[in-house]
């Protein structure tokens, strides 16, 4: 009798466990919105820990958005750098490195990182918002 109860409890606990269904990691189409009053030149974006998720977007005028670029995976935070002309000299501004360890990926969507200059003297960029524009239609 004890054996039957033990087997029943084990069987019940195994059947009660549900595996969480995850959506695919990507791809994710990403674009950058320049929310500053400066021209961003040589914009480089890294959206995940993967080496293939680094891309150069070129120039983005003040108040403009770049074209979408496809990345294999993206998170709500990204490492973004851009050269900004300071007194005739290009200076690299950056959001700094990102630790993606406990972040949840965005998935198969088109997103926009809204980027601004948060500290001009220390050359720091920040992401003010991540907008989910629309789901990707991969059919």
Mean pLDDT of the chain: 89
Per residue in 59-108, pLDDT tens?
Answer: 999 999 999 999 999 999 999 999 999 999 999 999 999 999 999 999 99
What element of type H or E holds 110? strand 109-119
State the pLDDT at residue 138.
78
Whether residue 127 contacts residue 77, with contact meaning beta carbons closer than 8 Å, is answered with yes
21-135: CATH number: 2.60.40.2890
State the pLDDT at residue 19.
52
Q: Where are the domains of the chain?
A: 21-135
pLDDT exceeds 80 at position 16: no
Buried b (16+ CB within 10 A) or exposed e, 19-50: eeeeeeebbbbbbbbbbbebebeebbbbbbee
The mean per-residue pLDDT over the stretch 129-133 comes to 94
β-sheet bridge partners, residue 29: 70, 110
State the pLDDT at residue 3.
73
Whether residue 100 contacts residue 70, with contact meaning beta carbons closer than 8 Å, is answered with no
Confidence of residue 114 (pLDDT cuts 50, 70, 90): very high
Whether residue 66 contacts residue 31, with contact meaning beta carbons closer than 8 Å, is answered with yes
Q: What is the pTM of this model?
A: 0.81
State the pLDDT at residue 10.
72
């Amino acid at each position: 009798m004890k054996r039957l109860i033990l087997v029943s409890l084990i069987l019940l606990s195994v059947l009660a466990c549900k595996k969480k269904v995850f959506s695919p990691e990507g791809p994710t189409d990403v674009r950058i919105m320049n929310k500053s009053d400066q021209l961003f030149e040589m914009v480089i974006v890294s959206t995940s820990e993967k080496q293939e998720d680094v891309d150069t977007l070129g120039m983005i005028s003040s108040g403009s958005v770049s074209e979408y670029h496809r990345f294999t995976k993206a998170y709500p935070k990204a490492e973004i750098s851009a050269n900004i002309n300071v007194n005739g000299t290009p200076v690299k501004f950056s959001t700094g490195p990102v630790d993606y360890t406990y972040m949840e990926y965005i998935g198969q969507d088109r997103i926009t990182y809204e980027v601004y200059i948060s500290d001009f003297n220390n050359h720091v960029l920040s992401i003010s918002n991540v907008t989910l524009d629309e789901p990707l239609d991969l059919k």
